[in-house]
Chains A and B, each alone.
Chain A
Amino acid sequence: MAISALDLRRTPRRAGSRFRPTYSTSLLTRRRRRMGLVLTLPALVLITLLIVVPIGQAVYYSMTEWNGVTTTWIGPSAWTQAFHNPTMWRVLENNALLLLSVPFALGIPLCIAVLLHQKVAGWKIFRSIYFLPTAISWVVIGLVAEHFFAYSGTLNSMLDWLGFSHSHTNLLGNESTALIALGVTFIFSMIGTNTMLFLTGLATLDPSQEEAARIDGASSWKIFRHITIPHLTRFIQLAFVITIISAFSALFSLIFVMTGGGPGYSTTTMEFLVYQTGFAQAQFGTAALYGLILFIIMCVVGVFQLRLLGAKD
């Protein structure tokens, strides 16, 4: 397929030019390649100038002390200093703790997808409803969540109604619990996307396989465990990667609206620390460094994803 019909229309080679496989030098092939380059160029320029070059700049910035006005070169020791900074470790700990929400952000959608896949009457309406929060901004979800967790909010009204009026909570106002509220909101925000992925996966399941197992007397649980789950492996991996990426780099809106990173540093994650350090404290160099650390973490996740995409072929 790589050598297409076009390549067979070879043009005579100029005398004296070194021999190359002829299919690579026909007039049409050359025209095609030139066109390929021309069409890729705008994308390359855009990505180079706005993504690749800034990574290099960030490396340089990370070794300077810069407040936007004066720049002092520090060198690689800026990195050792950062690793001795307790704030960064405190924040990374928050990131690690937030990863505890990942099993829920996968498990709950998996259950919901299985429910939807039973296709009870009106399941398409339910599907639309379940996916609806996917469309709205995490800024909006954060605002509603703040209302839910607030001292006079829905959570406490529910506790009242259940007769626990003495155990009023103020999750967001407490250093030890604010991260839990953030994690719960994150799980809620991921439900739509992950359910969508799992449901797509279930749709590709061959119903006759399930039928056969049922006739052989397998229980629903056994079918789920030994047929459904293995079939969904790739979808679960993809959902896992998307959820992890989101946990590291998509919580900004929620944090900005719900807690502003507080109380203290209790809900500051690495991505929020970049923003705080750079824009609230105007330490551009340190912020760039934190950004790079986040980038390194994402690269590790990326390697995992590439292996996942590679596994496909």
Chain B
Amino acid sequence: MSTALVTPAHVATPPKLTPRQIRRRVARAVLLVVMILVAGVMLYPFVVMLVTSFKTESQYLIGRGSSLQSWKDLNQTLPIYQELLNSTIICSASIFIVLVVGGAAGFAFAKLQFRGSNVVFLTVVSAMMVPLQAILMPEFVNMAKLGLTTSYFGAVIVYAALGTPFSIFLFTTYFRRIPDELIEAGIVDGLGYTGVLTRLILPMALPAIATVTVLQFIQIWDDLLVGLLFLQNPSQRPITVGLAALAAGRTTSIPELLAGSLVSALPAMLVYLGFQRFLIQGLTMGIDR
């Protein structure tokens, strides 16, 4: 409001500011500086990855010079194309299961309540609290016995099972907002439940589907533990696991490792930048209203 006093005539000779205005401006300037500093800290990982990836190991150690060598050698150290493909396969398959299974159950819990459905719902939602580490050993033994640790399928269903409780919670919360009358109208008009689900509910559920997809994508793409243990075949490793395994070996050149990190981080960053809105919605689901 105070800036309205500054008319074009004042531009050539700065106007005398009241102490209050000066304080305000100083405060704004300090605020901006602090925000830029914080931005520097938050961007630090990306700057390090980018800058270091354009060095050779020796250039990295002496701290100057740049080279494309690490990028050229990257695919030999870390089979990025194969591993990006593996990540994509595993993510898509798990997310598909989470959406179908979680969406159906969420709809049922919200709109097709049966005897005891509330108790079942609470049980399912509390499964959200079970950390994988708590059931890691039996889970691994079961999967190994079924021979699923040498195919994508084992990791895919473990991811699906871990993601389903939260997706049910999210879908149930979402579907509760849809009026009962709408579904009844669909049934009365002879659509049947399949028709209601595919033609009425599915289009309405797109925002919830997007939220679950984005959250699960970032979660699964970034995960280490499941991929490390449930994909025993190195050629099926997702990129995050490949990267961590390489890092744990402690023999790879750091610039190459950071080049690989950047490659692995890019897809999740793009998804995040494109769908930030849905991520925030998912995170605060159920408490903002």
Instruction: Name A residues whose Cβ lies closer than 8 Å to a Cβ of B.
Output: 1, 4-6, 28, 31-40, 42-44, 46-47, 49-55, 57-58, 61, 112, 115-116, 118, 120, 123, 126, 128-144, 146-148, 152, 154, 157, 188, 191-193, 196-197, 200-201, 204, 234-235, 238, 245, 248-249, 252-253, 256-257, 260, 270-271, 274-275, 278-279, 284, 287-288, 291-292, 294-295, 298-299, 301-302, 305-306, 309, 312
Whether the Cβ atoms of B221 and A137 lie closer than 8 Å is yes
SS class, residues of chain B in contact with chain A: helix
State which of B104, B218, B228, B240 has its C-beta within 8 Å of the C-beta of A42: B104
Of B129, B273, B280, most buried by chain A (CB within 10 Å of CB) is B129
Whether the Cβ atoms of A55 and B130 lie closer than 8 Å is yes
The distance in angstroms between the C-alpha atoms of A156 and B222, with both chains bound, is 29
Whether the Cβ atoms of B134 and A292 lie closer than 8 Å is yes
State which of A46, A123, A257 has its C-beta within 8 Å of the C-beta of B161: A46
Known: A43-B102, A257-B248, A271-B131. A136 touches B225 (CB 8 A): no
| Additional A-B contact list (10), CB under 8 Å, known A135-B268, A144-B49 | A36-B108, A42-B101, A53-B138, A55-B135, A118-B31, A132-B42, A137-B264, A140-B264, A142-B247, A298-B134
State which of B61, B127, B180, B276 has its C-beta within 8 Å of the C-beta of A4: B180
One of B6-14, B68-76, B77-85, B112-120 at the interface = B112-120
State which of A35, A61, A134, A284 has its C-beta within 8 Å of the C-beta of B272: A134
CB of B57 to closest CB in A, whole Å: 12
Whether the Cβ atoms of B224 and A298 lie closer than 8 Å is no
Q: Which residues of B contact A31 (CB under 8 A)?
A: 193
Known: A36-B117, A137-B265. A46 touches B101 (CB 8 A): yes
Whether the Cβ atoms of A43 and B287 lie closer than 8 Å is no
Instruction: Name B residues whose Cβ lies closer than 8 Å to a Cβ of A.
Output: 28, 31-32, 34-35, 38-39, 41-46, 48-49, 52, 61, 63, 97, 100-102, 104-105, 107-109, 111-115, 117, 120, 124, 126-127, 129-142, 157-158, 160-162, 164-165, 168, 180-181, 184, 187, 193, 218, 221-225, 228-229, 240, 243-244, 247-248, 254, 257-258, 261, 264-265, 268-269, 271-273, 276, 279-280, 283-284, 286-288
Known: A139-B244, A271-B131, A312-B287. A57 touches B261 (CB 8 A): no
The distance in angstroms between the C-alpha atoms of A284 and B140, with both chains bound, is 10
The distance in angstroms between the C-alpha atoms of A304 and B132, with both chains bound, is 20
CB of B187 to closest CB in A, whole Å: 7
Q: Which residues of B contact A188 (CB under 8 A)?
A: 41
Whether the Cβ atoms of B265 and A33 lie closer than 8 Å is no
Q: List 29 A-B contacts (CB under 8 A).
A: A5-B181, A36-B113, A42-B104, A47-B124, A47-B161, A54-B138, A54-B142, A55-B130, A58-B134, A61-B137, A61-B138, A128-B276, A133-B42, A134-B218, A135-B222, A135-B269, A135-B272, A137-B223, A137-B243, A140-B243, A143-B258, A154-B48, A200-B284, A245-B129, A249-B131, A288-B137, A298-B129, A299-B129, A302-B129
Whether the Cβ atoms of A51 and B161 lie closer than 8 Å is yes
Q: Which residues of B contact A32 (CB under 8 A)?
A: 112
The distance in angstroms between the C-alpha atoms of A279 and B232, with both chains bound, is 13
Whether the Cβ atoms of B284 and A197 lie closer than 8 Å is yes
Known: A39-B112, A134-B272, A141-B45. A204 touches B288 (CB 8 A): yes
Whether the Cβ atoms of A298 and B39 lie closer than 8 Å is no
Which residue of A has the minimal Cβ distance to B180? A4
Whether the Cβ atoms of B257 and A143 lie closer than 8 Å is yes
CB of B49 to closest CB in A, whole Å: 7
CB of B48 to closest CB in A, whole Å: 5
CB of B204 to closest CB in A, whole Å: 16
The distance in angstroms between the C-alpha atoms of A137 and B181, with both chains bound, is 44
Known: A54-B135, A57-B138, A274-B133. A35 touches B193 (CB 8 A): yes
Known: A40-B109, A126-B39. A294 touches B258 (CB 8 A): no
Whether the Cβ atoms of B104 and A43 lie closer than 8 Å is yes
Whether the Cβ atoms of B105 and A130 lie closer than 8 Å is no
Q: Which residues of B contact A248 (CB under 8 A)?
A: 131
Q: Which residues of B contact A271 (CB under 8 A)?
A: 131, 133
Whether the Cβ atoms of A132 and B46 lie closer than 8 Å is yes
Q: Which residues of B contact A197 (CB under 8 A)?
A: 283-284
Whether the Cβ atoms of B168 and A43 lie closer than 8 Å is yes
Known: A54-B142, A143-B257. A274 touches B244 (CB 8 A): no
CB of B138 to closest CB in A, whole Å: 4
CB of A109 to closest CB in B, whole Å: 11
Q: Which residues of A contact B100 (CB under 8 A)?
A: 42
Which residue of A has the minimal Cβ distance to B185? A5
The distance in angstroms between the C-alpha atoms of A306 and B104, with both chains bound, is 24
Q: Which residues of A contact B52 (CB under 8 A)?
A: 147
Whether the Cβ atoms of B287 and A143 lie closer than 8 Å is no
Q: Which residues of A contact B287 (CB under 8 A)?
A: 234-235, 238, 312
Whether the Cβ atoms of A139 and B184 lie closer than 8 Å is no
State which of B48, B136, B258, B280 has its C-beta within 8 Å of the C-beta of A278: B136
Known: A115-B35, A132-B42, A136-B269. A40 touches B105 (CB 8 A): yes
The distance in angstroms between the C-alpha atoms of A199 and B130, with both chains bound, is 28
Of A132, A148, A295, most buried by chain B (CB within 10 Å of CB) is A132
Q: Which residues of A contact B107 (CB under 8 A)?
A: 39
